[in-house]
Every structure is written in structure tokens, then in C-alpha cells.
């Protein structure tokens, strides 16, 4: 990667946020005017357990540089147990991502409650920094999907 390209690097980051905790936490970050990078785009899902590993692979395939999944704190899931499923699925998926060459740091699971606007913003800061330091994700990107 040339120096020039590095300077211009703006990561594409997809954040899956559960409707009950993290999405509300992101709303609180917004209403408290706690800024974080515009590179983060949030997709609302009913629960972190709705996040299919397929969605994450697709994001990487389409050129995302990082994917973060946010859910309710363990024990606080609106649907009782959804975040536990999410945690198990993501642990498994992430270990395999490593295997196919997508660095561990490109994915993350974080618990953010509806009252944790500050935590949401901080988490996004940290994650964007991490992805920026990792640079562009080229391993899994389907070149046919890349814009010419």
C-alpha cells in the first residue's frame, strides 16, 4: 500500500446493533452529542442473535474493513438468551475468520446497554482506531465486487 493510499484510508465499518440496548445506546450517544467516526454505519437488528455469520462474511466480501456486533449485556437480553447465542456463534465464527486470514481485530462483539451512550461512542472510537491500524481488508474481498 502506498503512503498516499494510507493517508486516504477511510475504513468501511458495519455495526450490527440490537434494537433494545445497543441501538438505543447509539441513540443516546447521538442525543448526548458524543461523536465517533462517520466510517461506522449502523444496521438495526431485533437482537444480536439475529446476526447471521453470513451477514459478516458478506460484509467482508463486499469490502468492509471491520464488523462489530453490539448487544445487551449478558443476562439483560430483551429476549432472555439471544446475546448468549450471539456470543457463542461469533466466537466460533471469529476463530474461523482467523483461519481464512481475516485478522482477529477486524471483528468484535461488545455489550452496550441503552444507558451507555458513552461506552458506545468509546467502543466505536477504539474499533475505528483498531481497523485504521490494520489497514484495508483485502483478504476476503471478492474482487468481482470491487468498484473499478
Can you give the binding site for another protein, defined by CB under 8 A?
12, 14, 19-21, 23-24, 26-27, 29-31, 33-36, 38, 41-47, 49-55, 58-59, 62-64, 72, 75-82, 85, 89, 113-116, 121, 147
State in angstroms the smallest separation of the CB of 1 from another protein.
19
Pairing status of strand 13-18 against strand 40-45: parallel
**Residue with Cβ nearer another protein (33 or 144):** 33
State in angstroms the smallest separation of the CB of 139 from another protein.
15
User: Are 15 and 66 contacting, i.e. CB atoms less than 8 angstroms apart?
Assistant: no
- CA dist., res. 104 & res. 90, Å (int): 11
Between CA 92 and CA 96, with CA 94 as vertex, the angle to 5 degrees is: 75
Distance of CA 133 to the CA centre of its chain: 16
**Residue with Cβ nearer another protein (75 or 105):** 75
Q: Which residue, 61, 51, 34, 45, is CA-closest to 123?
A: 34
**Residue with Cβ nearer another protein (64 or 97):** 64
**Residue with Cβ nearer another protein (45 or 109):** 45
State in angstroms the smallest separation of the CB of 105 from another protein.
19
Amino acid at each position: 500500500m502506498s503512503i498516499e493510499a494510507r493517508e486516504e484510508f477511510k475504513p468501511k465499518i458495519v455495526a450490527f446493533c440490537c434494537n433494545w440496548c445497543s441501538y438505543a445506546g447509539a441513540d443516546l450517544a447521538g442525543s448526548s452529542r458524543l461523536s465517533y467516526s462517520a466510517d461506522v454505519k449502523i444496521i438495526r437488528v431485533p437482537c444480536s442473535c439475529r446476526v447471521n455469520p453470513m451477514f459478516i462474511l458478506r460484509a467482508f466480501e463486499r469490502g468492509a474493513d471491520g464488523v462489530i456486533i453490539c448487544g445487551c449485556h449478558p443476562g439483560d437480553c430483551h429476549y432472555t438468551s439471544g446475546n448468549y447465542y450471539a456470543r457463542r456463534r461469533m466466537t466460533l465464527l471469529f476463530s474461523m475468520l482467523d483461519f481464512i486470514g481475516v485478522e482477529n481485530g477486524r471483528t468484535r462483539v461488545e455489550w452496550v446497554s441503552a444507558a451507555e451512550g458513552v461506552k458506545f461512542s468509546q467502543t466505536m472510537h477504539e474499533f475505528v482506531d483498531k481497523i485504521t491500524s490494520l489497514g484495508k481488508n483485502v483478504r476476503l474481498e471478492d474482487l468481482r465486487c470491487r468498484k473499478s
